[in-house]
Amino acid sequence: MRVTVCDVAPRDGLQNDAQVLDPETRAELVNRLAAAGVQRIEAVSFVSPARVPQMAGAEEVVAAIDRREGVVYAGLALNERGYDRLRETTLDEVHFAFAVSEEFNRRNAGAAVEASVEAGERIVERAHEDGLRATVTLGTAFGCPFEGRVDPARVLELARRFAEGGADELVLADTVGVGVPRQVRELVGEAIGLGVPVGVHLHNTRNTGIANAFAAVEAGATVLDASVGGVGGCPFAPRATGNISTEDLVYLLHGEGIETGIDLDALVEVAQWLEETLGRELEGMVYRAGVFAPVSG
């Protein structure tokens, strides 16, 4: 069995960090991840630097990437203005994201959910016209910090619209880390029935992220977002902590006999480099504890 791990550290990982890294350093992180065997990387976000200064200079980051064959380089767009910028770069894939809960979407994207969905449908269509893949991420799919419980039927209704609209992939995001494995199994299992590949984007706010990732794989998810060192979080989500750590996730997957194509030892070195670069201990565990030999083999 094989799954695709998409490392989102250069985007989601760094967007909430107190340290603002220059475009050259962010491009180096992308290059190091690719060298470690990560085959999909969310490299940048095309958002206003006034709102998210950590993501300034997205075009410069893309220009500084040393592209590797077989690696998919993606960028995040929250609206068509962001997509306009993305399509002028050499990126392979657009990741469109919105929140299924109204209040969170208004705070994060400055729009009502329906307006975001309509924009996303246009972005998917435009991406295909431009020869790009389009992944749609449904945020707050397991719960919202402002509205509480999110009805799974609502998530699936919106997911169905994008599946029918031609999205290449659907990603269910636990934006604030409230989900548990039962929820993940049920929602992923239902989403699989929409006929397009399904992935998950998980945060570890309540220490359920890795368990949720494995539950998603058991339910049929084929794409897992993670962030090297476990860095990250959403600037617009109260008390939201980092994504699940890529090296922690890969350790689990390899131990379970699930292939990723990633060199775990090399990935640990990336986490160690990022720790030095950010000047603080990161949230991941494996890069500090070490790789146990039977798994690394």
Q: Are 134 and 94 in contact (CB under 8 A)?
A: yes
Distance between CA atoms of 21 and 11, rounded to whole angstroms? Answer: 11
144 is catalytic: no
Of 123, 202, 234, 249, which one is the catalytic site residue? 234
Structure tokens at 44: 């940048």
Q: Which residue has the tokens 């307006």?
A: 115
DSSP per position, 200-266? EEEB-TTS-HHHHHHHHHHHT--EEEEBGGG----TTSTT--PBPBHHHHHHHHHHTT-B----HHH
d(CA 21, CA 55): 9
Decide: helix, strand or coil at residue 43: strand
Decide: 75 and 62 in contact? Cβ < 8 Å: yes
Residue 99 is classified by DSSP as E
Tell me the C-alpha distance between 122 and 214, whole Å.
Answer: 33
Point out the residues that are catalytic.
234
